[in-house]
Amino acid sequence: MKNALQFLFVAFWLFVSCMPIIFTARYMEKVDVLILIFGYINALFLGVSMAVMCIEYWR
């Protein structure tokens, strides 16, 4: 159950992190900078969360 929740969490954040790329490709406007910053924050959060999950898994 714990592994399934971790997989769903990572899959959700991967999907959310890909959304800014899709939006930037379709709508090149002034908000694209904010969307890219949001994407970078999501990628950073995903990396930190995966590192924490790996540490908890190997503990």
- For 8, the token pair is 């769903």
3-class SS at 21? helix
Whole-angstrom distance, CA of residue 20 vs CA of residue 28: 11
Give the chain's domain count: 1
25 is in which domain, residue-wise?
A: 2-58
Whole-angstrom distance, CA of residue 5 vs CA of residue 23: 27
At 24 the pLDDT is 60
Whole-angstrom distance, CA of residue 17 vs CA of residue 40: 8
pLDDT in tens, the chain (59 residues): 667 777 777 777 777 766 666 666 566 666 666 777 777 777 778 777 777 777 777 76
Place of tokens 């990572």: 10
At 20 the pLDDT is 64
